[in-house]
């Protein structure tokens, strides 16, 4: 995070990190609901014919439930100020976006919503953690 003259993180960095953490928690909940829908009712989701990444819906359900838990926990740790949470958040949000891309034929609208949240989370974290790098003077 970019620091101001007093050594405290800037208001923009704190706000951006809090936004990213809240979005991570929300994306984790959405991902978990998506997984529960696949686990509880196989007829709720579309079954595409001839899809290259066709897995059993129970497998997809567990993948989404586990990713949802990982997203939500990472959001909580990011809110608590964990120093490694930003890197983990970017990795988990990226995995979530990829899994939802592969899940598109099963539940398209929901998958697109979660992908959008994941992309925004990655943008927000990168924006707040790298905002001061470009403006720092070069020291040789």
Q: What is the pLDDT of residues 9-25, one digit of tens each?
A: 566 666 778 888 998 99
Asked if residue 108 belongs to a domain, the reply is yes
- When the pLDDT of each residue in the chain is averaged and rounded to a whole number, the result is 81
Asked if residue 110 belongs to a domain, the reply is yes
Q: How many angstroms separate the Cα of 24 from the Cα of each of 75, 78, 117? A: 5, 9, 8
Q: Write out the two tokens for 21.
A: 């953490």
The confidence score (pLDDT) of residue 7 equals 56
Asked if residue 34 belongs to a domain, the reply is yes
The residue segments making up the domain with residue 36 are 27-42+54-129
The confidence score (pLDDT) of residue 76 equals 94
Domain count within the chain: 1
Whole-model pTM: value is 0.76
Residue 14 φ/ψ, nearest 5 degrees: -65, -45
Residue with tokens 């960095």, as numbered in its chain:
13
Neighbouring C-beta atoms of residue 19, cutoff 10 Å: 16
Asked if residue 16 belongs to a domain, the reply is no
pLDDT in tens, 30-59: 889 988 988 888 777 777 777 776 677 788
């Amino acid at each position: 995070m970019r620091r101001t003259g007093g050594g405290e993180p800037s208001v923009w960095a704190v706000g951006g990190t809090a936004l990213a953490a809240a979005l991570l928690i929300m994306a984790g909940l959405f991902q978990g609901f998506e997984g529960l829908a696949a686990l509880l009712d196989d007829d709720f989701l579309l079954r595409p014919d001839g899809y290259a990444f066709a897995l059993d819906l129970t497998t997809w359900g567990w993948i989404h439930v586990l990713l949802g838990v990982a997203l939500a926990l990472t959001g909580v740790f990011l809110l608590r100020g964990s120093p490694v949470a930003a890197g983990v958040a970017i990795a988990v949000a990226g995995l979530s976006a990829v899994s939802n891309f592969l899940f598109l034929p099963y539940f398209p609208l929901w998958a697109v919503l979660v992908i959008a949240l994941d992309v925004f989370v990655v943008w927000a974290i990168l924006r707040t953690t790298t905002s001061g790098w470009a403006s720092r003077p070069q020291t040789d």
